[in-house]
Structure 1
Amino acid sequence: MPLPIVVLILFAALLHASWNALLRAGNDRLWSMTVMCLAVAVASAGIALFLPAPAVASWPYAVLSGVLHVGYNLFLVRSYKVGDLGQTYPIARGSSPILITLFALAFADETVSASALFGIALVSGGIISLAFKQRRLAVPSLPYALGTGCFIAAYSVTDGIGARLSGAPLAYTAWMCALWGVLMPLVYIGLRDTRSLFAQRPGFITALAGGLVSLLAYGIVIYAMAEAPMGAVSALRETSVVFAALIGYIFLGESLSVRKVLACVVIASGTMLIG
């Protein structure tokens, strides 16, 4: 994989960990996530106006991805309701690279080298190990965290195929994210009401900023998936758990043990094999 692509993905990983930390720190995470999506919708629609439309063949993938992203949002919010960032995030993100590699093989006829596959396995294993406590995977939100990982795998492969068919990965990203950004507020209104969504409350500006950060992070990932194997891109992106562990330790008061540091070393080793 070209070094510039690797560097871009690692930057996206840092951005991704940052907006997840913002979400986990909020009091009303469903509201925060929905405000993030509003920011994504407005920014994406504005960007789409200055880009050529993606090829028609990619449109069904954009629609499917938008729906899958809403499912991902709901599962992620539920996961953070009962779990720590340092536990929930590794399960969700660690399970997805292997799933994406399998899905990409099944639906995109995509294969990776033996060394890259070993690197992906190291990254996934190292990430998931971050969630263990005293050799036990005691995660209260485990079903939702695993469900989040499945949604990640599903929308990542969908977007990888869609971006390649679009002929314009950035335009595909803009249109897909605009659709996703509109769908999530509609779901919120269906679950709650319109008034509470647009009410001014603490964290509004932070949530808007988090949405813009998430848009930039995922736009980089879609661009990378159009240029490199999806499983390898996903594994590199999931190094965001290393950043999440550090953010959780520094800003959220979560623990950072020797075992977590060793897991981060394993993840870094897998990253070098992929890169």
Structure 2
Amino acid sequence: MTFYAVLLVVFSALLHAGWNVLGKSNNGSGYSFTLGASLAPFILLLPYLVWCLSVIGFNNLTLSFWSLLFFSAVGQVVYLVGLLRAYNLGDIGVIYPIARALPVLMVGVITVAIGQALTFNAWLGFSILTLGCLLVPMRHFKDFRLRSYVNLSVFWAFIAAVGTTIYSVVDKQALSWLQYETDGLSSHQVAIFFLGMQFAAIAIVLITWLLLTGKRHELALTWQYRYRSATAGIMMALTYGMVLFAMTMVDNVSYVVALRQVSIIFGVLMGIWFLNEKWFYTRGVGVSLVLVGLLIALV
């Protein structure tokens, strides 16, 4: 990874932890918060999207692109709803590290399966990082055992991790498609274009789901909690826009996914400062392992 790509991902991680604190403190449901958070950046980016479509040409976006966009949106919805459901059941200092840890190895396995290579150092670093993430939620070292993770909040964190894995792999494929199959946009313009289209797709998928399942009251809740969710959505857009731009600079998305886990450190500290969550020695060791794993994998 280039130094510029590293800076983008690290700064995005700080913003990512910030909107997660807002997500933890929201009073609406996962659906309404996610819908509000997706509509706000889409509306802001709408004029830009119209311009990009005029440059690219709407007819040049084939079924391959629309399929990737759909699966990306589904992954994002699964991630966001799973994460917010988990936050309703547990501390951000517990849920956030688990939801962020599991995709590191999941994405690594998938990228290797589709033909990309990872070094031994990368696998070692990813493993140490994941161990650190799983240790962060523990209050005592003796709690580091399987039954400590067998609960509903961790289940929803796992669902969120599956969503992250889906959209991370799909988004890299979609960006590559846009870069090689279309003309007229630079790498950062492609990243912002896909970001706006992704938020539009998330909103469409969610609204369709709410209408089909008879949850129309969630639409009213979206308006009721619009300010907090819109703020989180704008932070999400800034965060993931930087990540998408960084993805255009690397061949293997696994390294971007791994580096994003520095947000765990920010998330734990923000949980302590803003949500009065507790600090334990185990969290200190876990955070240290996250840093060591990142250094081994990326240096």
Normalising to structure 1: TM-score of the pair?
0.90
Q: Is the 8 A contact 2:39 2:199 kept in 1?
A: no
Which aligned pairs between 1:234-245 and structure 2 lie closer than 5 A? 234-245=257-268
Partner of 2:22: 22
Q: In structure 2, give the amino acid aligned to 1:165.
A: W
Structure 1 residue 105: Cα displacement: 1.6
Q: Is the 8 A contact 1:37 1:181 kept in 2?
A: yes
Partner of 2:237: 215
CA distance in 2, matches of 1:162, 1:186: 23
Cα 1:75–1:268 shift into 2, 3 Å: same
CA distance in 2, matches of 1:233, 1:39: 26
**Is residue 154 from structure 1 mapped to residue 166 from structure 2 by the alignment?**
yes
Structure 1 residue 271: Cα displacement: 2.1
Q: Compare CA radii of gyration and give the structure with the larger one.
A: 2
Structure 1 residue 198: Cα displacement: 5.2
Structure 1 counterpart of 2:287, from 261, 264, 272: 264
Cα 1:199–1:161 shift into 2, 3 Å: closer
**Is residue 129 from structure 1 mapped to residue 135 from structure 2 by the alignment?**
yes
Cα 1:8–1:195 shift into 2, 3 Å: closer
Single out whichever of 51-60 and 27-36 deviates more from structure 2.
51-60
Structure 1 residue 237: Cα displacement: 0.6
CA distance in 1, matches of 2:48, 2:3: 27
Structure 1 residue 204: Cα displacement: 3.1
Structure 1 residue 25: Cα displacement: 0.9
Q: In structure 1, give the amino acid aligned to 2:220.
A: S
Cα 1:44–1:106 shift into 2, 3 Å: farther
Structure 1 residue 188: Cα displacement: 4.2
**SS of corresponding position for 2:138:** coil
Structure 2 counterpart of 1:79, from 86, 91, 94: 86
Single out whichever of 226-235 and 167-176 deviates more from structure 2.
167-176
CA distance in 1, matches of 2:75, 2:156: 15
CA distance in 2, matches of 1:195, 1:29: 11
CA distance in 2, matches of 1:179, 1:44: 13
Single out whichever of 158-167 and 41-50 deviates more from structure 2.
41-50
**Is residue 206 from structure 1 mapped to residue 206 from structure 2 by the alignment?**
no
Structure 1 residue 219: Cα displacement: 1.6
Q: Is the 8 A contact 2:15 2:236 kept in 1?
A: yes
Count of aligned residue pairs for this structure pair: 272
Q: Is the 8 A contact 1:119 1:271 kept in 2?
A: yes
Q: Percent identity?
A: 24
Q: Is the 8 A contact 2:83 2:156 kept in 1?
A: yes
**SS of corresponding position for 1:27:** coil
Single out whichever of 85-94 and 261-270 deviates more from structure 2.
261-270
CA distance in 2, matches of 1:269, 1:89: 19
Q: Is the 8 A contact 2:37 2:233 kept in 1?
A: yes
Partner of 1:224: 246
CA distance in 1, matches of 2:2, 2:272: 32
Structure 1 residue 128: Cα displacement: 1.7
Structure 1 residue 272: Cα displacement: 2.2
Normalising to structure 2: TM-score of the pair?
0.84
Q: CA RMSD in A?
A: 2.1
CA distance in 2, matches of 1:194, 1:72: 18
CA distance in 1, matches of 2:237, 2:229: 12
Structure 1 residue 144: Cα displacement: 1.2
1:66-90 Cα distance to aligned partner (Å, 9 max, x none)? 1222222222222112111111111
Cα 1:37–1:249 shift into 2, 3 Å: same
Cα 1:82–1:204 shift into 2, 3 Å: same
**Is residue 110 from structure 1 mapped to residue 116 from structure 2 by the alignment?**
yes
Q: Is the 8 A contact 2:139 2:280 kept in 1?
A: no
